[in-house]
Amino acid sequence: MLPEEMGKVSRRFRKIFAASSVIFVAVLAVSPVRDYLRSWKRYERAYVRFAQSRPDTKRLLADFRLEISQIWIPKMDVVDRCTTCHQGITEPSLQDSSVPQPFRAHPPIPHRVRDWGCVICHRGQGLATEVRDAHETTLAWEQPILPVQYIQASCAECHREDLPQTPRLNRGRELLAGLNCVGCHRLQGIERPAMLGPDLTNVGSKVSRQWIYKWLKDPRTILASDGSMVVNGYEDEGEPRMPKFRLSESELVALSSYLSTLQKEKPQPYKFDPRVVAAWEKRPDLLEQGETRFRQMFCITCHSLAVIRAGETRLIGGDIGPELTKVASKVNPDWLVAWLRNPQAYLPHAEMPRYQWSDQDLFTVTRYIESKLTDASLLTDVPNLGTPTPAEVQLGRRLFLEKGCGSCHAIQGVAPQADYGPDLSSLGGKTVSQLEFGKAKIPHTLVAYIEAKVTDPLSVNAAARMPQYSLKSSDLTALTTALLSMSGSPATAGLESLILPAERPQFRPAGAFGELYERYKCYVCHRFNGYGGTLAPDLSFEGSRAQRKWIAEFLKNPQTLRPTLIFRMPQFNIPMEEASVLADYLSMVMQTPNVNLAGTETKSFTPDMVNLGKQLYAVKYQCQACHTIGSTGGYVGPDLSNVGNWMNAAWIEEWLKDPQLLVPDAIEPRRSFTDEERTALTAYLMTLKQSGAVQAPGGTGRGQ
């Protein structure tokens, strides 16, 4: 090769070499540049600049290092790198809403962020260090951040008990249990109850085929704006538990035909005492008297009625039992009398108490119901159905099972249906790829799926068998929260050990008291050692609080004790012997170890103590702000006019020491009384006695 040729080649090589060196350097530089430009590093550098602009720079940067920071919770198998960008999350001085995100401190919560991390409550990807990966659904990361309105679902991860801090979750759980979702679905922490919908074994003896048809077509009727009412069942706070099934005309005919043939035995007409009938039948005030008794027995504590107030039709009353505005057009009159006399004979699981009826009361009240709580035009729009044909009955029987009716309603001889719907006990932990969205135009996330499904079951699956519930938007949010909380069995043993299980106490006393407790259904409204309703006062410590004599008097003649409360205790007409059995048991058994009844000697109270107590009550502590004595005072606490006949002195003394120790959710604040003051106040209160304290029953149903 010639030298000049050599030079040419080497020049060309040199050029190639130079170019490839530049490319090589550039490629080498990609990695450090990318590393430098990582979004978490940008946020960290921004945090440094931000901290330098704050007065407490030194404190804010005390633990700062330019690296990924993470919280590791081995027990829960969780690694959170959120604090890499959310640098100020635990800095109390960065709480202000003017602090830019992602540096703002977390608002105060009961758990320390350093101990629990972020994703346990907020979900999202703790390991991710890119904004989108951490917060949203991307290809590799499936679990997005939980919207804050549903965040209470995360509390249930460990807290299986209802917490006062999570009202939305508690309401959702209440709805899941109350609407009997467990009839069809398996749900975490909610047991399938023994009592579902009404037993239909004998339903043909209670209601007509026309009524069944109408009810099945639409079990909830919207109250028209002009106040006209169409069916039993209104849109109101207390949802009718029966949802709407999308039934065709032939299905309605078949089901109504099948159900109307379910007549095990016809109720025998009750034979009223002829003297009562003769005396009352012709009296002009018969219906008036019936209505008065109906009110005095406080039926509306559990049942509601539509009334017109100021031109507006509203439902008033409770939601434990069904709404009764047109009940006489629904049920057979003989059935009604039999039911009132003994509800459990027709429906063993009925929550309705067995009243002690006199013939006169029963006659006037049933007459009132039959002539006033009725609507002749209720069933006029039902087509002529005729008598059930065997073909209709057979189809109806098949439909009963196909539509899943047996999940809520029992019929003797028909096997109960369980697990008719899918298992939802781990719904809240499902990933997007496990969900079927159909043609729904909604974001493909778990939250949107649950929202759509509970709002309209057909929206995500046109062939869904689930019936239509119509819930208020706040209840939809609550229900979605509760469903999101169903995260299935814990993934690690460590997590399992963190769970605080829900306690489900039972209180089923035996003996004579137990019988009466069942008869009058005390537990539907009152709570006993954690079991029972919350409508009325907790009676777990009634024996420590009230004197036996007072309890017996009260049971015979209930009256209001607390001016601000709507009085709701029905008058059961309890006979003397039963009242003393109840009073004996309550006063002997339902006691708290915190009150020593023998410890306070009322005889040792002197007039000086009483005078001091009176002064303390009226001047120093101004108890009259909340309590009434005689005719003056506040409405918040109970009326104390007769407290000397009502409460035990030892209870009052203990109460004044610490009200919340005896009744955890008591409103009364704990004051710092000296021992002398406490004794003086007790001595004064024990002198407050009304002679002939028994007032006329009823009449004080405030707000009703």
Partner 1 sequence: MKARLLVALLLLACAGIAASCRQKLAAAKADPLSRAYDTEQDWNDPRRVISLSYQQAQGKRVFYQYCVWCHADATPAGPSNRSNLNPMPPLANDGAVFNSLSDDLLRNIITLGGSAVGKSALMPPWGNTLKQDDINAVISFYRAIAQPFYQPPARPGPQYSVR
- The count of residues interacting with partner 1 (CB under 8 A) is 63
Binds partner 1 by CB under 8 A, chosen from 82, 151, 153, 482: 151
Q: Does 108 bind partner 1 (CB under 8 A)?
A: yes
**Positions in 665-694 near partner 1 (CB under 8 A):** 665, 667, 669-672
Binds partner 1 by CB under 8 A, chosen from 611, 660, 695, 700: 660
Q: Does 159 bind partner 1 (CB under 8 A)?
A: no
Which residue do the tokens 């758990």 mark?
A: 111
Which residue's CB is nearer to partner 1, number 264 or number 620? Answer: 620
Q: Does 314 bind partner 1 (CB under 8 A)?
A: no
Q: Strand pairing of 628-629 and 632-633?
A: antiparallel
Which residue's CB is nearer to partner 1, number 98 or number 384? Answer: 98
Stretch that binds partner 1, among 142-150, 268-276, 292-300, 459-467 (CB under 8 A): 142-150
* In the complex, least distance from residue 21 CB atom to partner 1, rounded to whole angstroms: 11
Q: Does 46 bind partner 1 (CB under 8 A)?
A: yes
Q: Does 34 bind partner 1 (CB under 8 A)?
A: yes
| Residue 459, Ramachandran bin (φ over 0: left; ψ between -120 and 50: alpha; else beta) | alpha
Q: How far is CA 250 from the centre of its chain?
A: 37
CB 680 within 8 A of CB 610: yes
Question: Which long-range contacts does 75-80 make (Cβ < 8 Å, 24+ apart)?
Answer: 75/492, 75/494, 75/495, 75/497, 75/498, 76/120, 76/492, 76/494, 76/495, 76/498, 77/491, 77/492, 77/494, 77/495, 78/117, 78/119, 78/120, 78/126, 79/126, 79/127, 80/117, 80/118, 80/119, 80/126
* In the complex, least distance from residue 640 CB atom to partner 1, rounded to whole angstroms: 15
SS3 track for 467-491: CECCCCHHHHHHHHHHHHCCCCCCC
**Positions in 567-626 near partner 1 (CB under 8 A):** 620-622, 625-626
Q: Does 28 bind partner 1 (CB under 8 A)?
A: no
Q: Does 158 bind partner 1 (CB under 8 A)?
A: no
Binds partner 1 by CB under 8 A, chosen from 1, 139, 148, 376: 148
Residues 6+ apart with CB under 8 A from 213: 252, 253, 256, 382, 383, 385
Q: Does 135 bind partner 1 (CB under 8 A)?
A: yes
Q: Does 241 bind partner 1 (CB under 8 A)?
A: no
CB 651 within 8 A of CB 661: no
Structure tokens at 283: 């009296």
Q: Does 635 bind partner 1 (CB under 8 A)?
A: yes
CB 392 within 8 A of CB 406: no
* In the complex, least distance from residue 392 CB atom to partner 1, rounded to whole angstroms: 49
Q: Helix or strand or coil: residue 12?
A: helix
Binds partner 1 by CB under 8 A, chosen from 320, 636, 663, 693: 636
**414 — phi, psi (to 5°)?**
-110, 125
Identify which of 597, 647, 600 has the alpha carbon closest to the alpha carbon of residue 627.
647
Q: Does 39 bind partner 1 (CB under 8 A)?
A: yes
Stretch that binds partner 1, among 384-392, 459-467, 496-504, 558-566 (CB under 8 A): 558-566
> Which one-letter DSSP state was computed for residue 697?
S
Q: Distance (Å, rounded) from C-alpha 680 to C-alpha 643?
A: 15
* In the complex, least distance from residue 676 CB atom to partner 1, rounded to whole angstroms: 18
CB 355 within 8 A of CB 340: yes
* In the complex, least distance from residue 363 CB atom to partner 1, rounded to whole angstroms: 34
Helices 576-589 and 548-556: angle between axes, nearest 10 degrees: 140
Binds partner 1 by CB under 8 A, chosen from 168, 326, 354, 526: 168
Q: Distance (Å, rounded) from C-alpha 228 to C-alpha 351?
A: 30
Binds partner 1 by CB under 8 A, chosen from 92, 167, 416, 511: 167
Q: Does 49 bind partner 1 (CB under 8 A)?
A: yes
Q: Does 9 bind partner 1 (CB under 8 A)?
A: no
Distance of CA 18 to CAs 109, 306, 675, Å? Answer: 62, 93, 97
Q: Does 136 bind partner 1 (CB under 8 A)?
A: yes
Which residue's CB is nearer to partner 1, number 485 or number 587? Answer: 485
Which residue's CB is nearer to partner 1, number 141 or number 621? Answer: 621
Stretch that binds partner 1, among 427-435, 595-603, 634-642, 690-698 (CB under 8 A): 634-642
What does the radius of gyration of the chain's CA atoms come to, in whole angstroms?
35
State the DSSP string of 534-571: SSS-B-TTHHHHB-HHHHHHHHHS-----TTSPP----
* In the complex, least distance from residue 260 CB atom to partner 1, rounded to whole angstroms: 43
Q: Does 564 bind partner 1 (CB under 8 A)?
A: yes
Q: Which residues bind partner 1 (CB under 8 A)?
A: 15, 19, 22-23, 26, 30, 33-34, 37-39, 43, 46, 49-50, 53-55, 96, 98, 100, 103, 107-110, 130-132, 135-136, 147-149, 151-152, 164-165, 167-168, 563-566, 620-622, 625-626, 633-636, 659-660, 665, 667, 669-672, 702-703
